[in-house]
Each structure stands twice: as C-alpha cells, then as structure tokens.
Structure 1
Amino acid sequence: MPTYEAVARFWADYRRLRPEQRAAFLRARTLFVGGLAEGALHPSLRVKGFKLRPGAFELSWTPDGRALFTYGSPLPGHGTDPHVIWLRVGTHDIFRV
C-alpha cells in the first residue's frame, strides 16, 4: 500500500481550504492512492509533470482543484510501494509561488 507524508506548507494550504474543498481533495486522494496500489489511476484524476519544479507532479480532480507532490524513497518495511510527499494543495493559486 502506498505511503505518504506532507510538508508544512501543504498543511498550511490545507487549513485554508473550505470544508467542501477539503472533502473533494480527500476523495481525490483516496482515488489516487487506490490507483497507485492497483497500477492504474481513476479516469477522473489527471496527473502530469509540473514544469516549474522538475520531479514534481500536479494532480487535478476538478477544474480548480490541484495538488503538487513528489515521490520519495519507499519506506522501510513497505517494499517498493510508492511514497508520496504532498507539497501543496488548493486552487490554481498554488502555482503562483
């Protein structure tokens, strides 16, 4: 099963989300993690490389729902399961920094 962690900036972004935005992200995160475990992402999710930060990826689930993440080294005891490091979450505004 994929593992994850989040940086402090992600949590600051997350706290600023409205309740419905948080719920939408949590639903998207569940689909994303499930897709990583199964080897195929849910069709409602879009993942692509983030050009301004090599090695980072953008996850989008609604017209203005975005998250940035990278992959870290698998955690001990989890084999080769992906380890996701969440960097930012919110709207398109997260790309302006």
Structure 2
Amino acid sequence: MKYRVAESFRNDFRRLPSEHQRLFQEAVRVHFLPAIEAGSFSGSPTWPKRLRIHRLNNTEIYSLTWNFASPDGRATFHLDKTDSGDPVLIWRRIGNHDIYRQP
C-alpha cells in the first residue's frame, strides 16, 4: 500500500527520541504492513491485537498503538485515494495519548 506523511506527523516524528522512532518503524514493518497485505482493512483477517487499531469516534481516522509501556506510543492515520483511485494511507500524528486532542 502506498502512503503519505502529513506535515504534522513529520514534525511529531522529528521530536521523538530515536529509540521511539525505531520502535514505531519496527511495529509498522513487523506487524502493521503484513496485516495490510493479509487484508486487515477489509476485516479479514482482523488487525493484530498488539496494535490495538481502532477508529476514533465518529471519524474516518484510525489509531494504532505501537507501544504500551514507556513510551506510550500512538499514531493516527486515515485512508484516502490517489488521483488514479488507488488507496493511500495518510499518517497524521505520532506521539503519546496527547495526539488524540488533534488527531
């Protein structure tokens, strides 16, 4: 799946300590991308429980928990379409629970 990064995500990511950046990238590579390839956006199979992916109330924005302990790692994203109609994932925010104020 193609993806884009919102400026807010880019700014958030730069502020993360390098270890937190690495933990996020590992969760995406090891758990998130394989789940997308397996069809999790269509509901079969479901998302890996360790990522706690869910839609935020009354929005098209999803939340992913990439770490439960220190750091409390969260990221938000939504799906869009390219000009040609192909799906594209947009990374919106990354950080801790505070990102939910402006996901």
TM bracket (short chain): 0.7 to 0.9
Q: Which residue, out of 43, 54, 58, partners 2:63?
A: 58
Residue 38 of structure 2 is matched in structure 1 by 38
Verify the 8 A CA contact 1:67 1:89 in the aligned structure 2: yes
- Name which of 78, 92, 101 aligns with 1:96: 101
Report % sequence identity. Answer: 33
Partner of 1:16: 15
Q: TM-score, normalised by structure 2?
A: 0.78
Question: What TM-score does the superposition give when structure 1 sets the normalisation length?
Answer: 0.82
How many residues get paired?
Answer: 92
* Shift, 1:16, TM fit: 0.3
C-alpha RMSD over aligned residues: 2.0
Who is 1:83 aligned against? 88
CA distance in 2, matches of 1:75, 1:68: 22
Q: Which residue of 1 aligns with 2:78?
A: 70
